[in-house]
Amino acid sequence: MVCEKNSVVDFKSGNICAVKIENTELFDVRKTFDCGQCFRFDEVCDSIHEVEYAGLALGKYISIAQDGNNIILYNTTVREYEKVWKKYLCLDMDYKKINNNILSLSDNKNLLSAMEKASGIRILGQDGWECLCSFIVSQNNNIPRIKKLIASLCSECDSDREDRFRLLEFMDGHISEVHKTLPGAFSPFPSPEHVRRLGQNRLSELKFGFRSKYIDCAADFVSTGKINLNDLYSKKTLDCMNTLCEIKGVGPKVALCTLLFGFGHLDAFPVDVWIKRVLEKYFDKSFSSDMLGDYAGVAQQYLFYYERYLDGEEK
């Protein structure tokens, strides 16, 4: 019986602190960062690696590269990886087990096929507040514009934004080209209090449109404690959803995305237009997401990727 432990080591790439993680399985950097769950990452097109995505998460600009089964993280250390990024990247989870669990609960042919095609996607452990705002912004909107709006919000709230790029220039080669001309790409996501201070009018000026008052309401609820985000980690998914739906502009879809991507509720099964199509096409009417168990949200992401990103390709 071979028990392969993946080695995690620090190294230097020029002046950049980096970490190499060997033998990761069921982790595909491109799919994970390009499947629409996060809005602050973009590809590093001139990368020295097979695939590399960089972006700002949990207050820090980081780059994640992949060569085969090896993962390379730039601008971090093993110490920080163990503390922060391991969980963020969901590398503390056994996806083989998760997949088997899903398969044990459903024999749907299309789900099986979706899992094969989308395999390697991991549900990131993003910041809950940022997720909430991001998915409020996402409604009736497209991904490029969602990304722009979020970056502009970060830019607006960041008094040091002029300096950020200069501070990051040392990691040139591991910065997404897109970010070099995107205002706010290197700015951290603002706190609820900060967004609240901005106010609905300023949000409108920033072109959030009808979503301005929704963001404002979310910031109000969270910053004043009408909703305690810390409660959302432990309570049941359905209860959490109902809590989040008290915010104006937050419905079931936004709430469940927030819980799935921002609060670790892997059973949350958000239904958007794509998933609605999937359910109509491949499942019978008796389908309910709790049939898929504790990891229904992972299955949802496989199905979403399958339908949204593989359309036109061979399924």
Residues lying near DNA in the complex (CB under 7 A) are found at 35-37, 138-145, 204, 207-211, 245, 248-255, 257, 270, 272-274, 304, 308
3-state DSSP call for residue 10? strand
Nearest distance in Å: CB 121, DNA: 11
Q: Are strands 8-13 and 41-43 parallel, antiparallel or unpaired?
A: unpaired
Nearer to DNA among residue 168 and residue 278 (C-beta): 278
Nearer to DNA among residue 19 and residue 38 (C-beta): 38
Give the DSSP letter string of 140-202: T--HHHHHHHHHHHHHHH-TTHHHHHHHHGGGTTSS-HHHHTSTTTTSPPPPHHHHHHHHHHH
Nearest distance in Å: CB 136, DNA: 8
Distance CA 89, CA 21 (A): 12
3-state DSSP call for residue 74? strand
Residue 169, CA atoms < 13 Å, CB-side half-sphere: 5
Bridge partner list, 20: 9, 72
Residue 199, Ramachandran bin (φ over 0: left; ψ between -120 and 50: alpha; else beta): left
Nearest distance in Å: CB 193, DNA: 22
Nearer to DNA among residue 37 and residue 155 (C-beta): 37
Nearer to DNA among residue 74 and residue 189 (C-beta): 189
Nearest distance in Å: CB 236, DNA: 19
Nearest distance in Å: CB 219, DNA: 15
Nearer to DNA among residue 72 and residue 124 (C-beta): 124
